[in-house]
Amino acid sequence: MSEVTDFDTFITGLPVVGGAFGSLISVLQDTPLLGTLLAPIIGSAMVAVIDVAVDELAPADTPIAFTYDVISFDGTPISTNYFPASGLIDGEDAPTALNPPGLGSAGATNPYTKNSSQSYFPTVGEIRGAGYNLITWDPRGEFASGGVLQLDSPFYEGRDTSAIVSWSASNTPAQLNGPDDPKVGMVGGSYGGGIQMTTVDPRIDAIVPGIAWHSLVEALYPNEIFKSAWSIVLGLSLIDARINSQIYEGVLTGLLLNWLSPTSEAVLASSGPTVLLNEMKAPTMFVQGTVDALFPLNQAIENAQTILANPYGTEVKMTWFCGGHGYCLDPVNPTQTNQLVSNTIAWLDTYVAGTGDPAEDIPVFQWYDQKGIYHESDLLPFQAGFNEPNPFSATGTGGMLPIIPFVGGSGPLQAANVPPYSDPPSAYLSWPVNQVFATEANNALNVAVNPNVGDQIVGAPELTFTYTGVGTGKGVFAQLVDNSTGRVLGNISTAVPVTLDGREHTVTVPMQSVAYTVGAGDSLTLQIAAYSTLYSNTSIGVIDISDIQLDLPIRAAV
């Protein structure tokens, strides 16, 4: 039993890193002398022995939840938790759902939980209640599992997942497609989403990866500009993990030098989907956040494009919701969570359990715009016919922009940026998490963007400008501000690479994708800012920007 202090509540409530601090507090509370000294701050803990009448709660042969060390390909023990489907009795079997956790979190161990920090996915109780055995686990290098964390490498964590699939086929009451081939699907978000596209085990019948990535290089080092804010948050989440030392080396050089060595880039490039999506046959439903500045919408788009380009005709659908890494400051549609959960269960029912075809009713593409309004389409946002052939274009003359670190840039999130209807936990307004939000900048060049009322901007705007400049900077930062709210679309700025050598250059970049519907009185402002708290940038200089053009994709009339 552990005492929970106000400090514990605050520190464990930090997004992404909170889980790591929770385990660290438990260790400190159990440490002789140190635990006593810190008790006024972190609380104390004690061990109590209780008697449990197991035979009364679960008569003999009743399937029960348990934890077991599955031995992976290289002898590494992976602490694995099994939960039977609700109501399962001796002699019955059920299809299986695998639910890996996010980075810095242990596998779920409470079979009755009804709340989820990842509200866009079914909870343990909801999956069991839908008739599925559920398996969770502590990833390699974290918590009770052995080994060294390799960031969802197909050569390590991917093979760990395959070992769990094999174990489940012969050691749990699993429905089988054949020998050593259980009926199994995967759900989960972030680190637990990435592993679904890393494993690509042909025995996995369907996947629902949430807020995952296509390329860690693109996500954390876009255009060779280091995404420092999220790297700090992720690094802190692994404070008590055993990880590949080259990961910390990359974080250090990124923070200090805004640079990753070829070795560090190779480590990132080897983690995640890579070319394995060329072999993906499992029906895949992507769930990605419209306000996710770590793994933006473009990451799901690239994953979907890669799968659809393979020769297997794999079924692919996609949903964009207001959430993800960070916090949704836009109005949230009250039906959003229920729809995401029911869609996930329908996907498993169709492609894993084989109980009818409820996934047929899920639109190919669904999204929620900045006002929480739901939209759907029979086309994915990158497919021919989704957008008008000609974009909406806005232009600006530009001007001189001083590059000054920390002053007048985009971010961090402050109380003044939070709308009255939103109530983010205080952790989002504190370092380091407040650094991951883009906000309206003062030191920026502004271009008016006035698309037509009724236009739906769904996808990636394209930005082009000409510039000359001198200084040590590697980039400037482009973002779209909703003039009606003062908030940056998607909470994200796009790193635009520049070369400040005194010569004239022209650069064209796709900005991060957005989901925005133009209502009466709505308009946007394109900002090109000198600084963003999201990225590592302590450089100085000056840049003269001209001939700015922004092309917005406009959804075709339906």
Q: Looking at residue 8, what is its pLDDT? A: 65
Give the number of other Cβ atoms within 10 Å of residue 160's Cβ.
29
Q: Looking at residue 80, what is its pLDDT? A: 99
pTM for the full model?
0.93
- Mean pLDDT for 303-312 is 98
State the pLDDT confidence band at 14, using cuts at 50, 70 and 90.
low
Choice among 41-55, 176-190, 226-240, 436-450 with the minimum mean pLDDT: 41-55
State the pLDDT confidence band at 404, using cuts at 50, 70 and 90.
very high
> Which domains does the chain possess?
6-42 (no CATH), 54-213+272-377 (3.40.50.1820), 216-271 (no CATH), 392-552 (2.60.120)
Distance separating alpha carbons of residues 343 and 37, to the nearest angstrom: 49
- Mean pLDDT for 22-28 is 67
Q: Taking the CA atoms of the chain, what radius of gyration do you get in angstroms?
A: 24
Give the number of other Cβ atoms within 10 Å of residue 376's Cβ.
12
Residues of the chain above pLDDT 70, percent: 94
- Residue 82's closest CA among 37, 38, 136? 136
pLDDT surpasses 80 at 159: yes
- Residue 365's closest CA among 351, 384, 380, 354? 380
Query: Tokens representing 216?
Result: 């860690």
**SS3 sequence of 171-198:** HCCECEEECCEECEEEEEECHHHHHHHH
Q: Looking at residue 18, what is its pLDDT? A: 58
- Mean pLDDT for 354-361 is 97
Q: Looking at residue 125, what is its pLDDT? A: 93
Write down the mean pLDDT value for the chain: 93
- Residue 131's closest CA among 167, 171, 88, 90? 88
- DSSP E strand boundaries for 346-420: 365-368, 374-377, 392-396, 399-403
pLDDT digits (tens, 9 = 90+) for 104-157: 999 999 887 665 545 688 999 999 999 999 999 999 999 999 999 999 999 999
pLDDT digits (tens, 9 = 90+) for 501-532: 999 999 999 999 999 999 999 999 999 999 99
pLDDT surpasses 60 at 231: yes
Q: For residue 543, what are the CA distances in angstroms to 38, 396, 400, 404, 442?
A: 51, 15, 6, 11, 16
Distance separating alpha carbons of residues 297 and 321, to the nearest angstrom: 10
Letter string b/e over residues 302-330, b meaning 16 or more CB atoms within 10 A of that residue's CB: bbbebbbeeeeebbbbbbbbbbbbbbbbb
Give residue 204's region: left, alpha or beta (phi > 0; psi -120 to 50). beta
Q: Looking at residue 371, what is its pLDDT? A: 98
CA dihedral 10, 426, 21, 128 (to 10 degrees): 100
Q: Looking at residue 174, what is its pLDDT? A: 99
Distance separating alpha carbons of residues 506 and 498, to the nearest angstrom: 9
As separate numbers, helices (DSSP H) first and strands (DSSP E) second, the chain gives: 13, 24
- Collapsing DSSP to helix, strand or coil, 266 comes out as helix
pLDDT digits (tens, 9 = 90+) for 420-429: 999 998 889 9
Position 192, amino acid: G
Residue pair 451/518 in contact by the 8 Å Cβ criterion = yes
pLDDT surpasses 70 at 11: no
pLDDT digits (tens, 9 = 90+) for 259-307: 999 999 999 999 989 789 999 999 999 999 999 999 999 999 999 999 9
Q: 497: which strand partners?
A: 475
pLDDT surpasses 80 at 31: no
User: How are beta strands 284-289 and 184-189 bridged, if at all?
Assistant: unpaired
- Mean pLDDT for 456-485 is 98
Q: Looking at residue 52, what is its pLDDT? A: 73
Q: Looking at residue 153, what is its pLDDT? A: 96
Distance separating alpha carbons of residues 518 and 534, to the nearest angstrom: 27
Residues of the chain above pLDDT 90, percent: 82
Give the number of other Cβ atoms within 10 Å of residue 518's Cβ.
22
